[in-house]
Amino acid sequence: MDIWEVCPQLVCLNQDGTYYEGYLSVLDQEFHLAITLPPNRLLKDAHIDVEPKVFYLLQEYQTLVKQRLNQCSGLATFLQELKVLLEQVLDQPSQEQYIRVSSQLIDELNSINWERLVYISPTFHEVHISADDEHQRRHILKVQLHSEHPRVAPTCNHDLPSKFKFVWTPSSTLKDLLSQFENTIQSYQVFWDVMGEIDQKTWVLEPEKPNYSATYRRIAISSNSSIQITLDPCHPENLAQCQFMGADSIVDPLKQKLNFNLENWDPHRTVLQNLEDLMEMEFPSPNNTKKEEFIGECGICYTYRLDMELPTKVCENPQCGQPYHQSCLHEWLKTLSTSRYSFNIVFGECPMCTKPITVTMTTGD
Ligand code: ZN
Ligand code: ZN
């Protein structure tokens, strides 16, 4: 078999017979191809350049292609096999559509800066595009294209703190989508600034690694107390929700101060400034404290994070103040004959200091 029989449009372009370039035609389609053989002309060391479309079509068959390069007796045989493989792949009905989507998508991506393309799936159905906001925060819009793109709107994943509402028409493009995303990002600048100040100036215990979509923070107050605040991303200057955790002896006075002073909440100041002013305290700062001081392990299982649970139940004895997971403490008290039950509360003794301690029964008991 000769090369020209299999691929009449592929020509050798050098005297050594080691460089071929041209087209491989498969089912009425022409695919550009360049093959460089090493000086020893061994096929297994050949370098084959294909156009992106072929690359993606054969993505799943890379190992097979490499194996055939190793085993085929000559270039003509290899090209013949490559042609058959492409015929089979192209013959799958979904491929046609996917080629249509991919060429449409490449046009659309050309209209966006390619450097902003963070990821593209081998099937071209998912693209991730970056958008930087005015405070150099990087956001990623993950777009899943419908197989009938652009007739049907894509679905989007993102790190916005609420739903991304966008307008899509059959003539919309990724560029339109991206500009709507950028406008939405713009509207959350104050929210991210407020959260950013908290992340920077306090010890945030939860979420462990806050992302831009998280609307709450649990902030360390002392070694065994914390406050969890939740903000409305559309009104980040107000306190939407607030919950104290820890020993009553520490959190009760703070709770009272906050409630008493709440009318003095000043929307022109940040949430952190308001909280400190109203509770007449300062949050421990990463500048002069270590996070370990605020992450008290459970006195029963000696871990901090147990599945999703944190040791939020704290012994009320000021000399003890040992934190426990609710579930650990409940299991522990259940095994003791001295424990008493009333409704869904278990009364028992702190395993550490033996002073009275209570725990609310965990669901499922
Ligand atoms: Zn525990
Ligand atoms: Zn105790």
Task: Kindly state the tokens that stand for 163.
Answer: 């739903």
Domain range list for the chain? 3-91, 102-187, 190-293, 296-360
Q: Report domain 190-293's class.
A: alpha beta
Checking if the pLDDT of 288 tops 80, the result is yes
Which residue in 327, 321, 325, 330 sits closest to 348, CA to CA?
A: 330
Domains 102-187 and 296-360 share a fold: no
pLDDT of residue 188: 96
Ligand 2 centroid to residue 294 C-alpha, Å: 17
Rounded to an integer, what distance in angstroms lies between the CA atom of residue 153 and that of residue 144?
Answer: 9
Confidence band of 352 (pLDDT split at 50, 70, 90)? very high
End-to-end CA distance of the chain: 77
Confidence of residue 248 (pLDDT cuts 50, 70, 90): confident
Please give the distance, rounded to the nearest whole angstrom, from the Cα atom of residue 203 to the centre of ligand 2.
24
Ion ligand 2: residues, Cβ under 5 Å: 315, 317, 320, 322, 350, 352-353
pLDDT grade for 61, boundaries at 50, 70 and 90: confident
Q: How confident is the model at residue 365 (pLDDT cuts 50, 70, 90)?
A: very low
Percent of the chain with pLDDT over 90: 50
Per the structure block, which two tokens stand in for 6? 């299999």
Spacing, Cα 332 to ligand 1 middle (Å): 10
Between 104-108, 166-170, 182-186, the lowest mean confidence (pLDDT) is in 104-108
Contact predicate 46/38, CB 8 Å: yes
pLDDT digits (tens, 9 = 90+) for 160-176: 999 999 999 999 999 99
Which 3 state secondary structure label does DSSP give 284? coil
- pLDDT score recorded for residue 21: 94
Q: Quick one: fold of 102-187?
A: Ubiquitin Conjugating Enzyme (3.10.110)
Please compute the mean of the pLDDT values over residues 24-45 and round it to a whole number: 89
How many angstroms does the Cα of residue 225 sit away from the middle of ligand 2? 15
Strand order, beta sheet including 10-12: 10-12, 19-26, 29-36, 47-50
**From ligand 2's centre to the CA of 301, what distance in Å?**
15
Per-position DSSP letters for 31-70, written without gaps between them: EEEEEE--TT--GGG-EEEE-HHHHHHTGGGHHHHHHHHH
Indicate whether 364 pLDDT > 60. no
Q: In whole angstroms, give the CA distance from residue 320 to residue 23.
A: 80
Write down the CATH superfamily of domain 296-360. Answer: Zinc/RING finger domain, C3HC4 (zinc finger) (3.30.40.10)
CA distances from 346 to 313, 319, 321 (A): 13, 22, 18
User: pLDDT category, 95, cuts 50, 70, 90?
Assistant: low
For helices 271-279 and 189-201, the axis angle rounded to 10 degrees is 50
